[in-house]
């Protein structure tokens, strides 16, 4: 592990943001602000207007009116698609600005942020294409006097709630698909990382999205999120975050039986067999564990290694971990940036110390880093982990790799399925039968075979069990924001109870 100590100079002073409601940038009803301290530099970098219940209700009312009375749901698919494509172009034009905001607010490496914004551009363009391919069904085989048409109509007002770990990328997995379907939205980014989403509001207005179609407010879950999930004028909730808050979101939405889409936690295994290409796997293991400082629902946080190769693999991962560069997110060579908050760093450290006291071995790292600014964690490998340990079952959300071992394929599958989660998994073997057996038997939404954490907009993303409900991305993503309506049409006079047949 290498450490970058000297901080890169911040490009700008504190940036002040307002919230977007009904096409207007406005202050909050109470005039309160939220200040964001950069986790990498320890200084305030952004101020947001703090929304309250009143502001959330204003935003929902604007979205409701824009859906019920505005032009957006009634535009042609081509018109909506063209606006989404223009938005994608504008995002690309402001890529450096958006990436900088995500880097300083989330502590993410700037090079990684630029890649994520580029990926978001691709998603917006893909969503634009789906706007023009959304269609219903027709049935003319129901008899001489009957024809059926099934319509797909936009579901209505969507509350979109996104987390701090991928501020711009995750909103791109939701909002453009809702817009492509003809919905209107209220968006609440995390109060820790709201800057890039507020810039997106500027972009959407410039692209031609009508007033009230997209409203963006910043606030806490109790102040704002609870209103967005329970309000009767909201038709659907799309939430990404922790499983615990996801359960609260679902319970709140149940008051009015709203449709709910949840992308929640993960405890994702990589299962490695002796015949695997270990050179490729070692790189994927380090990437999967430390990417985004491990603050990723898809992190490959569990290694399930065959006992014949476990010692060698652990040693090789530790050796490569020494080369991982931890430091200032604004340095383009940094690979692992800062931890989001001091409280979260303390939580991660607690998992490591708990595992160590419970019998696991710290094979690499294990401590925090004092770089004279912000909060950082060393990449960490824990060997000798057993299934009953919290670090093997719970989402640590930090750069911590837990290593377990197996002897048979059946045992590997059992270990992989032994948590409450089922978001993703990986299998490494050059035997096709082995990969397919793992792929069929492990209960997860995505199974990577001889790779890890690859993805494109065309492939659906989501989890089994307590990793969530529904899927994002893929060709059906727009359909998730629609309702189906049947038109049952009769030709000629109807015959009935009291009419002659």
* Interatomic CA distance for residues 111 and 30, integer angstroms: 38
Measured in residues, the chain has a length of 501
The three-point CA angle 246-251-256 to 5° equals: 125
Nearest to 1 by CA among 334, 226, 279, 413: 334
Which pLDDT band, with edges at 50, 70 and 90, does 189 fall under?
A: very high
Domains and CATH numbers, the chain: 8-264 (3.40.605.10), 269-449 (3.40.309.10)
* Interatomic CA distance for residues 427 and 435, integer angstroms: 6
CB atoms within 10 A of CB 419: 22
Give the pLDDT score at 9: 61
* Interatomic CA distance for residues 252 and 263, integer angstroms: 16
Q: The whole model's pTM is what?
A: 0.96
- Side by side, the strands of the sheet bearing 44-49 are 15-17, 44-49, 33-37
Alpha-helix runs per DSSP H in 407-498:
409-416, 432-441
Which pLDDT band, with edges at 50, 70 and 90, does 162 fall under?
A: very high
Residues annotated as catalytic are 263, 297
CB atoms within 10 A of CB 65: 16
374-384 per-position pLDDT tens digit: 999 999 999 99
Does residue 154 contact residue 80 with C-beta atoms inside 8 Å?
no
Considering the chain, what percentage of its residues have pLDDT values greater than 70?
Answer: 97
Nearest to 364 by CA among 326, 337, 399: 399
Give the pLDDT score at 500: 58
Give the pLDDT score at 491: 87
Which pLDDT band, with edges at 50, 70 and 90, does 492 fall under?
A: confident
Q: Report CA-CA distances (Å) from 373 to 1, 8, 134, 346, 369.
A: 18, 11, 50, 16, 10
Nearest to 434 by CA among 303, 217, 271: 271
- Side by side, the strands of the sheet bearing 482-490 are 137-139, 146-154, 482-490
pLDDT at 6 over 60: no
The residues that bridge with 185 in the sheet, in sequence order, are: 158, 214
Does residue 309 contact residue 409 with C-beta atoms inside 8 Å?
no
């Amino acid at each position: 592990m290498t450490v970058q100590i000297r901080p890169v100079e911040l490009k700008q002073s504190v940036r002040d943001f307002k919230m977007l409601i009904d096409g207007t940038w406005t202050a909050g009803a109470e005039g309160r602000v939220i200040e964001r301290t950069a986790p990498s530099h320890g200084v305030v970098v952004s101020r947001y207007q703090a929304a309250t219940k009143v502001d959330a209700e204003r935003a929902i009312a604007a979205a409701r009116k824009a859906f019920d009375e505005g032009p957006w749901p009634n535009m042609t698919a081509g018109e909506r698609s063209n606006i989404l494509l223009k938005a994608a172009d504008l995002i690309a034009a402001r890529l450096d600005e958006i990436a900088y905001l995500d880097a300083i607010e989330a502590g993410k490496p700037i090079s990684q942020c630029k890649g994520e914004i580029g990926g978001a551009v691709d998603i917006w363009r893909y969503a634009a294409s789906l706007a023009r391919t959304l269609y219903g069904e027709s049935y003319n085989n129901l008899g001489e006097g009957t024809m059926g048409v099934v319509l797909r109509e936009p579901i209505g007002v969507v509350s979109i709630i996104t987390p701090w770990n991928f501020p711009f990328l995750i909103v791109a997995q939701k909002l453009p698909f809702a817009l492509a379907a003809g919905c209107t939205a209220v968006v609440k980014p995390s109060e820790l990382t709201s800057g890039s989403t507020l810039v997106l509001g500027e972009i959407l207005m410039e692209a031609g999205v009508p007033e009230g179609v997209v409203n963006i407010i910043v606030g806490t879950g109790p102040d704002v999120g609870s209103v967005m999930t329970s309000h009767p004028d909201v038709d659907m909730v799309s939430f990404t975050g922790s499983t615990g808050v996801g359960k609260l979101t679902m319970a709140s939405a149940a008051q009015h039986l709203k449709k709910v889409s949840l992308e929640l936690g993960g405890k994702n295994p990589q299962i490695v067999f002796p015949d695997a290409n270990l050179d490729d796997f070692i790189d994927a293991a380090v990437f999967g564990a430390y990417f985004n400082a491990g603050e990723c629902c898809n992190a490959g946080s569990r290694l399930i290694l065959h006992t014949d190769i476990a010692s060698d693999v652990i040693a090789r991962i530790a050796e490569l971990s020494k080369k991982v560069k931890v430091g200032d997110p604004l340095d383009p060579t940094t690979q692992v940036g800062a931890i989001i908050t001091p409280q979260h760093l303390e939580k991660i450290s607690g998992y490591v110390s708990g595992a160590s006291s419970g019998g696991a071995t710290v094979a690499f790292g294990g401590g925090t880093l004092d770089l004279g600014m912000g909060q950082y964690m060393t990449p960490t490998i824990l060997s000798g982990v057993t299934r009953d340990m919290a670090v093997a079952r719970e989402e640590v959300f930090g750069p911590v790799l837990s290593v377990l071992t197996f002897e048979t394929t059946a045992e590997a599958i059992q270990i992989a399925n032994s948590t409450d989660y089922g978001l993703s998994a990986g299998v490494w073997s050059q035997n096709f039968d082995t990969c397919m057996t793992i792929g069929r038997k492990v209960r997860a939404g995505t199974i990577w075979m001889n790779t890890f954490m690859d993805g494109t907009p065309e492939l659906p993303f989501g989890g089994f069990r307590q990793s969530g409900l529904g899927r994002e991305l893929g060709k059906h993503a727009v359909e998730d924001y629609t309702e189906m309506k049947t038109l049952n049409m009769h030709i000629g006079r109807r015959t009935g109870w009291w009419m002659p047949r």
